[in-house]
A and B are shown apart, each in its own frame.
Chain A
Amino acid sequence: MVRTYFLLLWTWTRAAAAYPASFALMTLLGFVTAGIDVAVILIVFANTTTLAGFSREEVLFLYGAASLSFTICDTFVSNIDRISQHIKAGTLDTFLIRPVGAWIQLTADRFNANRVGRIIQSALVLGYAIAALDLDWRRAWMIPVMVVTGVVIFAALWTFGGAMQFVLTDAPEVANAFTYGTQQLSQYPFSIYARDLVKGVTYVLPLAFINWQPGLYALSRDDPFGTPEFMRFLGPAAALVLALLAALAWRQGIRHYRSTGS
């Protein structure tokens, strides 16, 4: 299954490499586009030294960690967004009769290797923040754990979004509100948000476990909302539950899919 996935990625990459200039330009522009969010953070901190109790480097750390998870999923999973076009055009049928899972094929569909530029950008910001902050090295193990947790949560969100398209064929943008919205949400310390919103994204949708809860541990900070210490370590469990629910939703979507007949 994994081999098939990488074979599909390689096929699409070879197709894109047929236009090398365009490929290089898009990689560069992806890097620049991703830089806008960092520019916004830097401009905010040109006007203030702390934002809701967090310094510039701490915000860049939270941004870098969430952004790394997000861009990895944006590269390897987000192609599933295109399912709404496939459902409308009736081309989803061909995915279903091939001897590989539809999820694998759709996440590799028209894979865009030039998005790697964005992953590099996020990794650089995270690297800078880690170097600039005086982190407790005994807590550094949490950083890779939170990135992987974030990848699983974002992948689950994209899968939910894909499953939603079976019902909301005409409104792919609604799914974007969840995936890209979560990226926007997790770029900043949750202390800027209202208490009820943070409760919602902690206990209903476990988005706080992408970078906020584990990030507090890595930064050796107390939660301004006063959640107990053990919450910092619940990320992997929360991600797993969300992934299972997403898998169920995806199965339901595929089972209830009715072809357009064209």
Chain B
Amino acid sequence: MHNSMLSQRHPCAGTDTACHRVLTPWRCKTIPLYALLVRYGFRKHATYVGAALAGAFTNSVFGILRAYILIALWQARPGLAGYDVADAVTFCFITQAFIGPMQLFGGGLGIPERIRSGDIALDLVRPASLQLWTLAEDLGRGAYLFLVRGIPPMLIGAALFGIVFPTGPGRWLTFLAGFAIALVISFGWRYLVALSVCWLLDDRGVAVLSMVLTTFFSGMMLPLHIFPGWLGDLAKALPWAAMVQLPTDLYLGKAPVLDTLAFQAFWAVVLLGLGTLGTRAIRHKVVIQGG
């Protein structure tokens, strides 16, 4: 009985399995683990279909209201920032579609609660990196919310106002690549915010600060191209621009592909690097209080 259960579990579970002999131990154990975590993240959020659809409804309502502001602005200034009215409306609904998958209002990670309850100690002794573990789960969550909270606002925008769709599979691919990096950047930022709880104890202040920075500097409220003067230059250089503005520009075909992806990759690496340092730091800071 015991043996049969083991053999059903996983092809790589034992040391003597076929898988172990053929593949290197690293590929055999690590990649399937994180792939599994991506799937679990997806399935965990798939349980809450109702909440996700309610979120999609709210995002769509706000998309409609914000679209009218942009339409009025672009009617007063046709061709502003190189967008026409259709581009501006499309911009508005894409940014609404990003709210769920990128958690632009913050949160999405269970780390602050786990730091407060002390469960983080358990996470840190697991034989897998806390950062990669959380990233894998978060990518699963992002993929699910992209489907359930991202697509409805786009369809509603298309039905009510008419939106632009990328021409050709090439642009779809560059958009999806940009979107995927943006998901990693969004995770990198939220992970740092979550780790800060270890030093600040109360996460509400940082959470609000993060929400203000993310919503304003990502381009979620207005395209960064219309920010005046130095504010616009500053906003375009910060990591939040790589979360919303740049993938949207890739979608609309308004940005040079390689430069944009390189800029996004730069911020993804920087934020993940800082996250690694942060993880190392809390490993030294955590004190297990005992049972």
Q: Which residues of A contact B (CB under 8 A)?
A: 19, 22, 25-26, 29-30, 32-33, 36, 39-40, 43-44, 46-48, 50-52, 168, 170-174, 176-177, 180-181, 184-185, 188, 192-194, 197
Contacts and interface: CB of A to CB of B under 8 A. Distances in A.
Contacts of B73: 44, 47-48, 51
A173 B227 contact: no
Contacts of B228: 43, 46-47
Interface string B222-245: 100011100000000000000000
Contact of B65 (A19, A32, A44, A185): A185
A158 to B, nearest CB: 15
B72 A51 contact: yes
Nearest to B201: A22
B62 A170 contact: no
Contacts of B222: 40, 43-44
Say what secondary structure dominates the interface of chain B.
helix
A181 B57 CA distance: 11
A19 B68 CA distance: 42
Given A43-B226, A43-B228, A171-B54, A181 B61 contact: yes
B54 A173 contact: yes
A25 B209 CA distance: 10
A192 B57 contact: no
Contact of B221 (A36, A48, A50): A36
Most buried by A among B54, B57, B204: B54
A50 B54 CA distance: 35
Interface stretch (B31-39, B139-147, B211-219): B211-219
Interface in B164-207: 202, 204-205
B291 interface: no
Contacts of B53: 171
A188 B54 CA distance: 25
A29 B208 CA distance: 7
20 contacts: A19-B202, A25-B205, A26-B208, A32-B208, A36-B221, A44-B226, A46-B228, A47-B228, A51-B73, A51-B76, A170-B48, A170-B50, A171-B51, A173-B58, A174-B54, A176-B58, A181-B58, A184-B65, A188-B69, A197-B68
B216 A36 contact: yes
Interface string B37-81: 000000000001011011101100110011011011101110010
Contact of A40 (B65, B211, B221): B221
Contacts of B61: 177, 181
Closest 4 CB pairs of A and B: A171-B54, A192-B72, A48-B76, A173-B54
Given A173-B55, A177-B61, A192-B72, A47 B216 contact: no
Contacts of A180: 62
Given A44-B222, A46-B228, A184-B65, A29 B209 contact: yes
A170 B54 CA distance: 9
B69 A26 contact: no
